[in-house]
Amino acid sequence: MILRWLTAVALGAALVAPQPTFAAERGFPTTGFTVGGPFITFYETRGGLDVFGYPRSPEFTLSGRTVQYFQRARFEWWPENPPGHQVQLGLLADELGRGRPSDPSAHRAEWRHFPETGRAISGAFRTAFESRAGLEVFGYPTSPVVVENGRTVQHFQRARLEWHAENVPAYPVQLGLLGDEQIALGRVTLPAGSSIPAPPDLTSGIAGKTAEGALAGRLVVSGGVGGPVWTMRPDGSERLVGHGVDPSLSPDGRVVVYAQHGGARPGLYQVGWQGGEPTLLTVGDERRGPLYSPDGREIAFYQKSACLRPAGNLWIHDSCFQIKVIPSEGCVDWLRPGQDRYAFGPAWRPDGRALVFRQEKALATTEDRQTVRPFGIDFAPLIETILFDPTGGRIVVGVRRNQTYSEIGTVPDDGSDRFSALTPPLSFVQPPPTSLSPAYSPDGRHIAFVSDRDGRPGVWIMASDGANPRRVSDVPIGLSGARERLVHWSRV
């Protein structure tokens, strides 16, 4: 740490000149991190908790510079600067793209103008700026006063000032949580232990890693309904293998199964993970969601068909969906008995003895050729996709919220509905970003998913507790809201 380096220098020079005394390291039990050396001196003399919030990481090296993240800022160590200016705040607001074109017409006598950016500050924002070391802490203003997500704000190079009328009179202006936002948006990968709670590291010392340090297994990724299908390593390197919807991998990762709609021969197809000529397993339009059983012997899917449903004293035409199972080498499929009219998205238990799937008003389960029974989770109409943790204990689900966005979470595999969000909506982004189609890694330690949290849909990987999300691929993905499976993960 910087503190230890400075201590060594101070001991060697003690007889030459008196040295400044830095505050002792300060621990923050709320987040479990310590701030020391010049960082704690800067923190405590520039506003402390009120201005910067709690530390969100230890010191670590980012782009060749020692840094430490806080809820509202990133401290950076610049040893080449003169004393008093060696701790700088990172340009988080600039990095998050929050600046705006200048407005030369906004010039009033009571405002303080900054020709460097063509911006001005006034009122409570000017008071807060000038009382907190101004340029040193915040940088230049980069926007006018605007309303974002219902809050009056003004952006600076290093900060976002926010008006909180509900606060006590002494604190009507506070800094936005730019550090939290940059972490949540996956713009930076923090060292191990920098999440709350501490996450497993994505890059070292975990089960399921290859000798080269990459995550193990193979992904299959869909570009959307009827779009391209790629097989992919967890590092993002991909290979085009076909076109269809809802692809999944065999347990050994060697074969891809997917659905094709329309055309001369719609149905379920298999193809090798490297591509080649696909094999037709079963003919029929509107077949969706194929998924191998854990032993690779069977494939469960669901099929759309015309049906009648009651409406008062009448029966009206409708589209119904039923879960079916077929041997993985193809042949005649069979229907799980006792389903209602709307059964979607089958998922196998890790032992392969039962399926769980979504019905119209609840999840349901059925063991081998047995009658369907309720599974217990009562928010099934919101569920888009489900998949079991291969190590047991949890189910990861994609859930549709308010018809505007999707999020990912887990529920216990005993049928209870204790939902734990892994990608909760970001309060500073409206509408919230969508995250969907989760898939566990073979060891259950990570989850691949599709998200548009950085502005465009792509494949992301996070720890199984939701920590350290990072984009791993830029292949184009279309989101159609059709409950499609967009990513699946298998061992090799």
Task: Judge whether 116 lies within some domain.
Answer: yes
Task: Judge whether 417 lies within some domain.
Answer: yes
Residue 377: domain span? 218-490
Residues 150 and 9 in one domain: yes
Residues 13 and 124 in one domain: yes
Residues 259 and 172 in one domain: no
Residues 165 and 26 in one domain: yes
Q: Which pLDDT score is estimated for 379?
A: 60
Q: Encoding tokens for residue 378? A: 């009562």
Residues 74 and 175 in one domain: yes
- pLDDT profile of the chain (492 residues), mean per 10: 42 37 68 89 82 87 92 92 90 66 48 87 86 80 81 85 70 77 72 48 31 70 90 86 94 94 87 93 88 92 86 88 85 68 88 85 75 69 83 89 84 82 71 89 94 86 88 87 89 75
Q: Which pLDDT score is estimated for 253?
A: 92
Residues 362 and 464 in one domain: yes
| Percentage with pLDDT > 90 across the chain | 27
Q: Which pLDDT score is estimated for 331?
A: 64
Q: Which pLDDT score is estimated for 132?
A: 72
* Bridge partners, residue 66, by sequence: 61
Q: Check if the beta carbon of residue 291 is closer than 8 Å to that of residue 258.
A: no
Among 198, 231, 264, where does a domain finish? 198
Domains held by the chain: number: 2
Q: Which pLDDT score is estimated for 214?
A: 56
Task: Judge whether 94 lies within some domain.
Answer: yes
Task: Judge whether 208 lies within some domain.
Answer: no
What distance in Å separates the CA atoms of residue 447 and residue 82, rounded to the nearest whole number?
A: 46
Residues 323 and 193 in one domain: no
Residues 223 and 360 in one domain: yes
Residues 273 and 378 in one domain: yes
Task: Judge whether 213 lies within some domain.
Answer: no
Residues 176 and 224 in one domain: no
Task: Judge whether 203 lies within some domain.
Answer: no
pLDDT tens digits along 110-154 = 788 898 888 888 888 888 888 776 887 788 888 888 877 667 888
Among 198, 227, 248, where does a domain finish? 198
Pick left, alpha or beta for residue 251 (phi over 0 → left; psi -120 to 50 → alpha; otherwise beta): alpha
Other CB atoms within 10 Å distance of the CB of residue 380: 23
Question: What SS3 class is residue 374?
Answer: strand
Other CB atoms within 10 Å distance of the CB of residue 308: 12
Among 144, 164, 198, where does a domain finish? 198
Q: Which pLDDT score is estimated for 439?
A: 95
Domain harbouring 456, CATH code = 2.120.10.30
What distance in Å separates the CA atoms of residue 194 and residue 201, rounded to the nearest whole number?
A: 10
Pick left, alpha or beta for residue 330 (phi over 0 → left; psi -120 to 50 → alpha; otherwise beta): left
Q: Which pLDDT score is estimated for 166?
A: 66
Q: Which pLDDT score is estimated for 45?
A: 84
The DSSP secondary-structure symbol of 402 reads T
Q: Is 142 exposed, middle or buried (0-12, 13-18, 19+ CB in 10 A)?
A: buried
- Who contacts 99 (Cβ-Cβ below 8 Å, separation ≥6)? 93, 117, 142, 143, 155, 157
Residues 336 and 476 in one domain: yes
Residues 361 and 454 in one domain: yes
Query: For 246-286, where are the alpha helices, taking DSSP H only?
Result: none
